[in-house]
Amino acid sequence: MPTPQFDRPLALKDQVYRILRARVRQGDLTPQDRLVDATLARDMNISRTPVREALQLMVHEGLLDTTTRGFKLSELDQTEVGHLFELRLLLEPTVAAKSAMTSDRKGADRLVACIAQAAKRRMMQRLTASTRRSTGSSKSSRHSATTG
């Protein structure tokens, strides 16, 4: 008899984890921001335990560092960013090619949409960088390089 599969709602810590990861990806959190479990728990109207568990998981993954006053995003140095780009250059073409070869029409349409979205995002990043250079401002984010 096969083991039954249950649809269980995500544990609270997993929901907090997803929310925090999304905030990192969207650039809502920067390395200058301090993440304090009590503050996050109060803002989310939940207890501190699932928030602490989610934050600890992010520390374990290398996304956060602990500080005396909570947590902050880990910062990558130039060498680490270079390694990430090298890794992406090795992986992404292979993954895209395999996806294109094994995809049905709907999947191929999604792949084309993703490529168009990535091209648009890259164009916007170049425009923003060009504008910053011409105005002399420079705000950098640790995760923009890792999230595409």
Residue 98 has what pLDDT?
A: 85
**65 and 85 both lie in a single domain:** no
Residue 145 maps to a domain: no
Same domain, 89 and 104: yes
**pTM to 2 decimals?**
0.57
Q: Report pLDDT digits (tens) over 61-102.
A: 999 999 998 999 998 888 988 998 899 999 988 988 887 788
Of 21, 53, 73, the residue that ends a domain is 73
Residue 24, domain CATH: 1.10.10.10
Q: How many domains does the chain have?
A: 2
Same domain, 39 and 66: yes
Find the domain containing 38 and state its range. Answer: 12-73
User: Which pLDDT score, from 0 to 100, does residue 141 have?
Assistant: 46
What are the backbone angles phi and psi of residue 113, rounded to the nearest 5°? Answer: -65, -40
* pLDDT score of 145: 46
DSSP per position, 84-147: HHHHHHHHHHHHHHHHHHH--HHHHHHHHHHHHHHHHHHHHHHHHHHHHHHHT-----TTTTT-
C-alpha 73/C-alpha 30 separation (Å) is: 7
Q: Which residue carries 């947590």 as its tokens?
A: 71
pLDDT score, position 12: 93
Q: Per residue of the chain (148 residues), what is the pLDDT tens digit?
A: 666 666 678 899 999 999 999 999 898 988 889 999 999 999 999 999 999 999 999 999 999 999 998 999 998 888 988 998 899 999 988 988 887 788 788 888 888 888 888 888 888 888 877 777 776 654 444 444 444 4
Q: Could you tell me if residue 23 is left (phi over 0), alpha (psi between -120 and 50 degrees) or otherwise beta?
A: alpha
